Amino acid sequence: MLDDIQSLRDSAREDIESASGLKDIHDLRVKYLGKKGILTSYLKSLGSIAKEERREYGQTLNETKGLIESLLNGREEDLKSSELEKNLASESIDVTITGRKIPFGHLHPVTQVLDEIISIFISLGFTVEDGPEIEHDFYNFEALNFPKDHPARDMQDTFFINDDVVLRTHTSSVQVRVMENNSPPLRVIVPGKVYRCDSDVSHIPMFHQLEGFLIDKNIRMSDLKGTLELFIHRVFGPETSIRLRPSFFPFTEPSAEIDISCVICNGSGCNVCSSTGWIEILGAGMINPHVYENAGYEPDMYTGFAFGLGIERVAMLKYGINDIRLFPENDKRFLDQF
């Protein structure tokens, strides 16, 4: 009997020493000390042992139980601490290593150019106004002296919501809105999105414009030219020349198309300026008296000028971009260059 216990101790010691993980310890605890474990079955058989031997045998079994328990606990502690060490080693972080850079975004090139242009006009005393992108036919066309069925409407490739409501085709739609609520002198710019049903390398259906208008007494075309020249010099440099070409807009009279000397070839001729040395940059003119009437101003009281500028076009010339469709695509490889 006592021999059996001795070999039980030996095998338990051997098992426990060779345990390689906490799972093994658990299994061995069940094997030896569990309800159906080996030692438990010895304890259960105590009753069948002769009375005189029972005491000594019982004591030995209890000692064995204590021994196995302490062997298991000891080995368990060892395994736990070596597992901890292993985890510490594998999960350690090197706090001296250089950090990984988080890529920062930045403002879209169109926003950057728009902000630059806005700040130039703010420095000239203009205030910024806003208007709806879904607009009444009245403000987009009628009030600006585009009669219904006038061919000039066709030039605007309008998106219609219904007969009376359009996606504004230009920021000029805000002119009469501002005039209705304010009286001159007015010095206003209106940056914003406009919509036209058109798409190719130089047109996208949604783009940005900046409208500007100045209304007061005795405003002359030379004021328009001076203001635009100063603006162009700030954006493209003082060596840039401008010229005014006669044009037509229903809401300005006279009207002009403003060209700048080609910023790519400095006027000597290249494919951006179609070898002319000039690039068209904006539309402008003296506000047509009909517009004042439509806004409820007394006719002949005021004069003023207006101009409208495509922001993507300015950005393309400034950065030498040859396809306007790159702006709304938002490819990071493109945007990262600005």
Q: Which residue ranges make up the site for ligand PHE (CB under 6 A)?
A: 170, 172, 211, 249, 252, 283-285, 306-308
Q: Which of 195/297 has CB closer to ligand PHE?
A: 195
Q: Closest separation between CB of residue 306 and ligand PHE, Å? A: 4
Residue type, 246: P
Q: Which of 49/221 has CB closer to ligand PHE?
A: 221
Q: Which of 14/154 has CB closer to ligand PHE?
A: 154
Q: Closest separation between CB of residue 282 and ligand PHE, Å? A: 7
Question: Which residues have CB under 8 Å from 8's CB, separation 6+?
Answer: 38, 39, 42, 64
CA 279 to CA 258: how far, in whole Å? 8
Q: Which of 254/269 has CB closer to ligand PHE?
A: 254
* Residue 261, beta-bridge partner list: 278
- The helix (H) or strand (E) run that includes residue 248 is strand 242-249
Residue nearest to ligand PHE (CB): 308
Q: Which of 306/316 has CB closer to ligand PHE?
A: 306
- The helix (H) or strand (E) run that includes residue 312 is helix 311-319
Q: Closest separation between CB of residue 189 and ligand PHE, Å? A: 11
Measured distance between the N- and C-terminal CA atoms of the chain, rounded to whole angstroms: 90
Q: Which of 267/308 has CB closer to ligand PHE?
A: 308
Please answer whether residues 117 and 235 qualify as being in contact, where contact means their C-beta atoms are separated by less than 8 angstroms: yes
Q: Closest separation between CB of residue 252 and ligand PHE, Å? A: 5
Please answer whether residues 122 and 190 qualify as being in contact, where contact means their C-beta atoms are separated by less than 8 angstroms: no
The 10 Å CB-count burial string (b at 16+, else e) for 61-80 is beebbeebeebbeebbeebe
- The helix (H) or strand (E) run that includes residue 201 is none
Count the Cβ atoms, other than its own, within 10 Å of residue 51. Answer: 6
Q: Closest separation between CB of residue 218 and ligand PHE, Å? A: 19
Q: Closest separation between CB of residue 196 and ligand PHE, Å? A: 9
Q: Closest separation between CB of residue 298 and ligand PHE, Å? A: 22
Q: Which of 112/247 has CB closer to ligand PHE?
A: 247
Q: What tokens does 61 get?
A: 């079994």
Please answer whether residues 166 and 138 qualify as being in contact, where contact means their C-beta atoms are separated by less than 8 angstroms: no
